[in-house]
Amino acid sequence: MKIRPRGLVNTGNMCFANSVLQVLVYCQPFHRFFSELRKHLAGPVVGSQREGTKATPLVDATIQFLKEFGKEREDDIFDELDSFIPTYVYDAMKEKKRFANMIGGHQEDAEEFLGFFLDTLEEELLSISQSLSPKESVKAPTEEPQVQDGEWLEVGKKNKTVTTRTAKSTDSPITRIFGGKFRSTLRNPHQRDSVTIEDWRSLQLDIQPENVKTLKDALQHISHPQPVQISIPTRPGVIHEATQQVLIEALPPVLILHMKRFLYDTKVGDVVKVGKQVSFSPELEIGSDLIAPSKRTPQPVRYQLFGVLYHHGPSASGGHYTLDVLHPNRELSERPRPAWIRIDDELVSDVRPEDVFGGLDRDDRHAYLLFYRRLTAWGPSRTN
C-alpha cells in the first residue's frame, strides 16, 4: 500500500473516532476490500445506495473517506497531505441510531465505537451483497464457512459424547477479516460435556490480576478453567460445582486485542480506569495451549503488530486517544520499508520502535486496543 500519512481534524472530542478510522486505513485487508468494492458500486459513491430500505450510508462514507485519504498531491512531492475532517463518516453516523450518543461532542469509548462501526458496515454490506450479481461479488479473505443455529453430538476422546451448540454466524467480509470463534466447554460430573461455539471480533483480555504484566500473561488467562455453579432441571434446587474452559476455535487474519481498562468498581459506584502498564512485542505467537484440540497447528500461529490505540489520562470518563501505526512503506519506495508513525489527531510524526515498545513506565498513555495481522496460515494439522 502506498499511503501518505495524514492527520484528521478533531472537531470536538472526536479523537476516539479519528484513531479508529486511522488504524483501519492501515489495515490492509480492510483497505483492499473497500477499494475493490468501490469498482462494483454503480453511480456516485456518496448517496448511491441511500434510496429505500437498502440504504448504505456508512459503506459509501467509508469508500469516500479512503479515497479522500489516499488522494495524490498535484506536485507529487513527499510532504504529508493536509489534515482533513472525515465529514462523510460523521454525516453517516447521524443516520444510524446506535451512534446517537457519539456525535454530541462528548468523549466516547474507542472500542465501543469500533464495534458499532464494524457492525454497521457488516449490516450494510449484507444488503449490498444481495443486490450484486454473482459475477460482481467482492471477495474478502476466506475463513470459516457460514454456520447455522443448531445442536449436535460430537464424539470426543474415548468415544465420549459431547453436546455441541453453535449460534448462527454471519458470513460477511467484516467477519472474514476480523472474526474469530471460541469453543466454551462446560464440564459437570453428572452430565455429558456441553460445548458452545461463540463468535468474537476482538479478544477481551483481563489485565487486573497481579501476575499479568505482559500481553502473553493476559492471553494465558483465557484458557484457564473457571469454577461455576449450575443447576440441573431434573434435580431442582440442587447446585452442582462445574468448570468452564474457553479455547480458541478460529483465529482471524486481523486480530484485535482489547485490554479491559474500564471496569465498574462497586466501592466507588462508578466506572474506573485500570491504569497498569502491560508490555507487548512486535510479534505475537498463539500457542496450541490456547487453541481447541481439533484446530491445533504444528507450529504456533504468528501475528505481527501494526497498530496500537492508546488511552491517555487517569479517568474513565474523559482523556484522549492517540495511535501508533506501522506504516508498510514509509518512504513510498519500490522496496517497501515499514516504519512506525505516531498519530494524534492532526499531528503525524515518525517514531522509533523503542518509542513504541519501551519506556512504558514513564508514559501517561496506556495501550487499549492492539491490532495484529496474521503471518502464518490458519488451520488444523492434518495426519495421514
CA–CA separation, 84 and 205 (whole Å): 34
Task: Please give the residue that has the higher pLDDT: either 145 or 71.
Answer: 71
DSSP string, 242-277: EEEEEEEEE--SEEEEEE--EEEETTTTEEEE----
Mean local confidence (pLDDT), 112-134: 86
**What average pLDDT is seen over the chain?**
84
Q: For the packed helices 87-94 and 57-69, what is the interaxial angle rounded to 10 degrees?
A: 170
pLDDT digits (tens, 9 = 90+) for 29-77: 999 999 999 887 765 444 444 454 457 999 999 999 999 998 765 544 5
175-185: pLDDT as tens digits: 999 999 999 99
Per-residue pLDDT tens digits for 247-257: 999 999 999 99
When pLDDT is cut at 50, 70 and 90, the band that residue 101 belongs to is confident
pLDDT confidence bin for 228, thresholds 50/70/90: confident
pLDDT computed for residue 146 by the predictor: 45
- More confident of the two residues 131 and 108: 108
3-state secondary structure of 239: strand
264 and 283 in contact (C-beta within 8 Å)?
no
Kindly give, in sequence order, each residue whose CB lies less than 8 Å from that of residue 312, ignoring residues fewer than 6 positions away: 319, 320, 321, 322, 364, 365, 366
Q: Report yes or no: 190 and 240 within 8 Å, Cβ to Cβ.
A: yes
Give the span between the Cα atoms of 86 and 56, in whole angstroms: 17
| Predicted local distance difference test score (pLDDT) of residue 21 | 98
* CB within 8 Å of 82: residues ≥ 6 apart: 6
Query: 355-366: string of b/e by CB count within 10 Å (b at 16+)?
Result: ebbeeeeeeebb
pLDDT higher than 60, residue 325: yes
* Cross-strand pairs, 265: 270
Question: Quick one: pLDDT at residue 238?
Answer: 77
Q: What is the pLDDT of residue 139?
A: 58
Query: Residue range 200-205: average pLDDT?
Result: 95
Q: At what angle do helices 15-25 and 57-69 cross, to 10 degrees?
A: 70
Query: Is residue 219 within 8 Å of 167, Cβ to Cβ?
Result: no
CA-wise closest residue to 36 among 117, 128, 170? 128
User: Half-sphere exposure (CA, 13 Å, Cβ side) for 39?
Assistant: 9
Tell me how far apart the 2 most distant CA atoms of the chain are, in Å: 78
Which member of 15, 27, 258, 327 is catalytic? 15
Checking if the pLDDT of 89 tops 70, the result is yes
Decide if pLDDT at 125 tops 70.
yes
Task: Please state which of the ranges 165-174, 222-231, 340-349, 350-359 shows the lowest mean pLDDT.
Answer: 165-174
- Residue 142 confidence (pLDDT): 52
Is 167:149 a contact under the CB 8 Å cutoff?
Answer: yes
C-alpha cell at 310: 492508546
pLDDT cut 90: percent of the chain above it = 55
**How confident is the model over 275-310, as pLDDT tens digits?**
999 999 999 999 999 999 999 988 999 999 999 999
Say how far apart CA 201 and CA 181 lie, in whole Å.
8
Catalytic choice (258, 320, 327, 366): 320
pLDDT greater than 50 at residue 78: no
Distances in Å between the Cα of 317 and the Cα atoms of 82, 107, 249, 264, 304 are 31, 7, 35, 12, 31
pLDDT of residue 141: 56
Q: What is the pLDDT of residues 367-380, one digit of tens each?
A: 999 999 999 887 65
Cell of 237: 434446587
Query: How many whole angstroms separate alpha carbon 252 and alpha carbon 93?
Result: 27
Question: What was the pLDDT predicted at 162?
Answer: 56
Q: Give the pLDDT score at 156.
A: 45
Establish whether 27 is a catalytic residue: no
